[in-house]
Chains A and B, each alone.
Chain A
């Protein structure tokens, strides 16, 4: 069973206490966006077999949304972090690199 630590209340919560919310760090498209951008924002997903950044809600706990870095092929959890960040923080990146030396962040 998947166990994630809520970064807000610090509780180690297991899967049934949490609600998954899909891919994290999606860039919201503004009113000036065209159809292709909206399609990409609303529907197109990376769906990687490997390192995945995703949203979770501590539904039966503090109720807040947070983000997690997880490997979808092995279910290894690299860490959880606040949702108020545009990119995964340095310690999450370091945790991923510790077990996936070849993994490269694709944001700048």
Chain B
């Protein structure tokens, strides 16, 4: 984008300039407009996926008559509640394609958005702790080779080299090796939403927070408008990008989704000195671990099994996760938990997302990312923008349509990603 930003271009010169005037010159990164009564495209949900969708609509298709409306605050849903892991080592081809697109976009996103998303390709290891996992991950690494996704199977000695704090000889779950993606890593989750929001705002799009959708107006099977807490907003096309509440929004439009909402939780320890510079996932024991730039050990676990909208999560899951990780990482046993939180994720039957047209004309859904939404944000937005602009899915979204459930064409990632990720 060559257009001048309302908040000015961020650079070392801008920092120097502001340093000389007591930082009085920084502007808000995005505008806070009142909604117009009509837009070409209305996107519900100003999280990473919604904002990325808006951004690529503008960038790739020149559609800037767009409003992104948000019930709460920008990036306050799952975008602000995940464990920021980015990887693309999936087994099935359609998944690998969209997640790898996302990874590639993440690699240059800071430069593209002129906003530091702190992408850190520190590497991701998925530990194999049972014979079954050894076979499963070797298979995934072979699949990844065919897909052009750079991953490798590594032996325990190499795992230990990369993660000195690991205990390979756990009595219950010894480390038998790992699936290593050196280009995976983490990014600053809030910054992803903020960077996209700033870029969207600069293109003239409206980001409207505290604006809850209360109804969807249709006429002759075609979407006409959404009724919100800030009034009626007309639209030609409507995108529902609201992880957690997709079923509620779909019900307003009169259709049902193959989605169930469950809580997924995470926690962080008190900050400690740098001790682990890769992301480690241990799916057998349902836990994953990385160290944030602040020094906290970021720990994620499994989902609750029952339908839940409380954004809390259960204590016993936190205990289960930590108990298992302590065996593999003995040194964390003496850390205190600092914070715990939960988010509501929408799970599909095959644990793969839905990017699709719907039974209502002009309405498109992007949902079902389950426990793996953050890593896919740029790829998801890219594919969703293509779907909205053309009305038909491009190559990235083609396999993720709603019709796959009727036709039995599942993209079964429960092997690769049955656990949270």
**Are A47 and B405 in touch, CB under 8 angstroms?**
no
> Is the Cβ of A45 less than 8 Å from the Cβ of B247?
yes
Q: How far is the CA of A16 from the CA of B306 in the complex (A)?
A: 12
B62-115 contacts to A (CB < 8 Å): none
Residue on A nearest B406 in the bound complex, by CB = A39
Q: Which bucket holds chain B's interface residue count?
A: 20 to 34
Closest chain A CB from B264 CB (angstroms) = 15
Question: Is the Cβ of B306 less than 8 Å from the Cβ of A47?
Answer: no
A73 CA to B344 CA, complexed, in Å: 11
Q: Is the CB of A42 within 8 A of B309?
A: no
The number of residues on chain A lying at the interface, defined by a beta carbon within 8 Å of a beta carbon of chain B, is 28
A104 to chain B, nearest CB (A): 15
Contact B349 A43 (CB under 8 A): yes
Given contacts A49-B245, A75-B308, contact A2 B260 (CB under 8 A): no
B316→A15 contact, CB < 8 A = yes
Given the contacts A46-B247, A46-B256, A54-B307, A72 and B261 also touching, CB distance less than 8 Å = yes
In the complex, which residue of chain A has the Cβ closest to the Cβ of B244? A49
**For the complex, is A25 an interface residue (Cβ under 8 Å from B)?**
no
Tell yes or no: B128 within 8 A of A by CB: no
Residues of A within 8 A of B310 (CB): 72-75
Whether A16 lies near B316 (C-beta < 8 A) is yes
Whether B340 is near chain A, meaning CB under 8 Å from some CB there, is: no
Q: Is the CB of B305 within 8 A of A19?
A: yes
CB contact between B258 and one of A44, A48, A54, A74 (< 8 Å): that residue:
A44
B261–A47 CB distance below 8 A = yes
For B405, the closest partner residue in chain A by CB is: A43
Nearest chain B CB to A96 CB, angstrom units: 16
| Interface: B29 (CB within 8 A) | no
Which has the most chain A C-beta neighbours within 10 Å: B245, B256, B305, B307? B307
Query: Chain A residues near B306 (CB, 8 Å)?
Result: 2, 20, 54, 70
Given known contacts A44-B258, A45-B259, A52 and B316 CB-to-CB distance under 8 angstroms:
no
> Can you list 8 A-B pairs with a CB-CB distance of less than 8 A?
A2-B314, A19-B305, A23-B307, A38-B406, A39-B405, A42-B349, A44-B256, A54-B306
Please give the residue numbers on chain B whose beta carbons come within 8 Å of chain A beta carbons, in ascending order: 245, 247-248, 256-261, 305-310, 314-316, 348-349, 405-407
